[in-house]
Amino acid sequence: MEQQQQPWTSSVLHRSLLKQPQTVASASGSYITLGSGRRILDGCTGAAVAIIGHGDKDVQAAVMEQMSTVSYAHTLTFTTDSAEHLADMLLEGRPYGLCKAYFVCSGSEAMDSALKLARQYHVENGQPGRTRLVARRQAYHGNTIGAMSVGSNLARRAPYEGALLLDNVSHVSPAYGYRGQLHGETEAAYAERLVDELDAEFRSLGPATVMAFVAEPVGGATAGCITAPRGYFEGVRRVCDKYGILLILDEVMCGSGRTGTYFAFAQEGDARPDLLMLGKGLGGGYAPIAGVLAHERVIDVVRRGTGTFVHGHTYQAHPVSCAAALAVQKVLRRDDLVSQCAAKGATLEASLRSVFGGRRYVGDVRGRGLFWALEFVQDKESKQPFEPAVRFASRVRDEAQAIGLAVYPGTGTADGFNGDHVVLAPPLNISGEDLALLVKLLEEAYGRVERDVEQWL
CATH of the domain at 395: 3.90.1150.10
Residues 24 and 125 in one domain: no
In this prediction, residue 5 carries a pLDDT of: 54
- Which of 285, 305, 334 terminates a domain? The answer is 334
Indicate which CATH number applies to the domain containing 304.
Answer: 3.40.640.10
Residues 297 and 373 in one domain: no
Residue 390 carries which DSSP code? Answer: G
Specify whether 14 is located in the same domain as 107: no
Domain interval for residue 244: 58-334
Residues 258 and 317 grouped into a single domain = yes
Return the H-helix or E-strand segment holding 235.
helix 232-243
Same domain, 50 and 85: no
Q: Where does a domain end: 307, 334, 361?
A: 334
CA distance 417 to 342: 33
Q: Tell me: do 260 and 294 sit in the same domain.
A: yes
| Whether 90 and 31 share a structural domain | no
On whether both 262 and 411 belong to a single domain, the answer is no
Residue 1 lies in a domain: no
pLDDT for 205-263, tens place per residue? 999 999 999 999 999 999 999 999 999 999 999 999 999 999 999 999 999 999 999 99
* 207 within domain boundaries: yes
Task: Supply the pLDDT for residue 18.
Answer: 87
pLDDT of residue 4: 55
Residue 217 lies in a domain: yes
Q: Give strand pairing partners of 292.
A: 102, 277
Q: What's the total number of domains in the chain? A: 2
Q: Dihedral (C-alpha) 196, 197, 198, 199: value to the nearest 10 degrees? A: 50
Q: Which of 355, 442, 358, 370 is nearest to 401 (CA)?
A: 442
- Quick one: 298 and 345 in the same domain? no
**What percentage of the chain exceeds 90 in pLDDT?**
95
Regions of the chain where pLDDT drops below 70: 1-8, 457
Residue 244 and residue 117 share a domain: yes
In a domain, 79, yes or no: yes
98 within a domain of the structure (yes/no): yes
Residue 101 lies in a domain: yes
Specify the pLDDT at position 1. Answer: 40
Single-letter code of the amino acid located at 262: Y
| Co-location of 38 and 89 in the same domain | no
Among 334, 352, 373, residue at a domain's last position: 334
Q: Give every CB contact of residue 142 below 8 A, 6+ residues apart in sequence.
A: 106, 107, 108, 109, 110, 111, 112, 148, 151, 252
Residue 2 is assigned to a structural domain of this protein = no
73 and 203 belong to one structural domain: yes
DSSP 8-class letter at 22:
P
What is the pLDDT, as a whole number, of residue 2? 46
Interval 148-176: pLDDT, tens: 999 998 999 999 999 999 999 999 999 99
Q: Is residue 222 part of a domain?
A: yes
Distance of CA 208 to the CA centre of its chain: 30
Classify strands 210-215 and 132-136 as parallel, antiparallel or unpaired: parallel
